Chains A and B, each alone.
Chain A
Amino acid sequence: EAAVTQSPRSKVAVTGGKVTLSCHQTNNHDYMYWYRQDTGHGLRLIHYSYVADSTEKGDIPDGYKASRPSQENFSLILELASLSQTAVYFCASSDGGHQAPLFGEGTRLSVL
C-alpha cells in the first residue's frame, strides 16, 4: 500500500537548535515535497525534489534546507530553529504525472 511516513510526529525544539524532520515514501515516486501549515492557514511549499541528490526551492525556503539522499527519503533541516518556525510540517510524494500527491500525517514542531 502506498505510504508516506514522517518522523518524528511531534517535536519540541529550543531556539537556535538544529532540527531535522524526516520523510520516507514507499511509492516509488520521483517527486517529494515539504510544506508548512500554520494554524488556520493553507499549505505553503518550502522545498521539493524530483530526483535524488537534487532539491528545489519552493515559495518559502528561507531558514530551511532540504536533503534527498535517495528516491525514498527527503529531509527538512532547520539549522537554527526560530520561534517563527513553530508549525505543522507535511511531506508529500508524487509520480509527477496525473496521480494526486499523497501526504504524510504531519509533524507538529514547537520551537521554544
Chain B
Amino acid sequence: AQKVTQTQTSISVMEKTTVTMDCVYETQDSSYFLFWYKQTASGEIVFLIRQDSYKKENATVGHYSLNFQKPKSSIGLIITATQIEDSAVYFCAMREIMNYNQGKLIFGQGTKLSIKP
C-alpha cells in the first residue's frame, strides 16, 4: 500500500538560512513520481519540484532542491537562502506509475515552515 509520512510538524528558521524538510514513503511499485507542494496562507496549493524515481540525479528548481535517497525511501526538500515569503505549509506527495493504482496521488501530513526575520 502507498503511504507518505512527514514527521516534522513545524520548523522555524532564521531568514537567509538553509532548511531541510523530511519525507519518507512506502510503495511496492518500482517506478513512481515524488512531488513537493507549498500551501500558502491563503490556502493556495502550488507545485514546487518533482523527482522521478528512475533518475539518480537530485532535482533542483531555483532555490529548491531535493535529497533523494531511494534505498531509504526518502525525499527531503532543501530550501536555500530562505525568505520570509517561504513561510508556508509544505507537502510531500507520491504517485505510482506501474501498478494498478497508477495515477493515485497520496500526500503526507505536511510541515509548517516559519521564517523569522
User: Which residues does A use to contact B, with CB under 8 Å?
Assistant: 31, 33, 35, 41-45, 48, 50, 56, 58-59, 88, 90, 92, 94, 96, 98, 100-103, 105-106
Residue pairs across A and B with CB atoms within 8 Å: the count is: 56
- Quick check: is B43 within 8 A (CB to CB) of the other chain? yes
**Residues of chain A contacted by B45 (CB below 8 angstroms):** 43, 90, 92, 103, 106
Interface residues of B in 22-39 (CB under 8 A from A): 33, 35, 37
Q: In the complex where A103-B45, A105-B43 touch, is A96 in contact with B109 (Cβ < 8 A)? A: no
A43-B91, A48-B103 known; A102-B47 Cβ under 8 A: yes
Q: A42-B91, A98-B52, A106-B43 are in contact. Are A50 and B103 (CB under 8 A)?
A: yes
Q: A94, A98, A103: which contacts B103 (Cβ < 8 A)?
A: A94
Write out the residue numbers on chain A whose beta carbons fall within 8 Å of the beta carbon of B33. 98
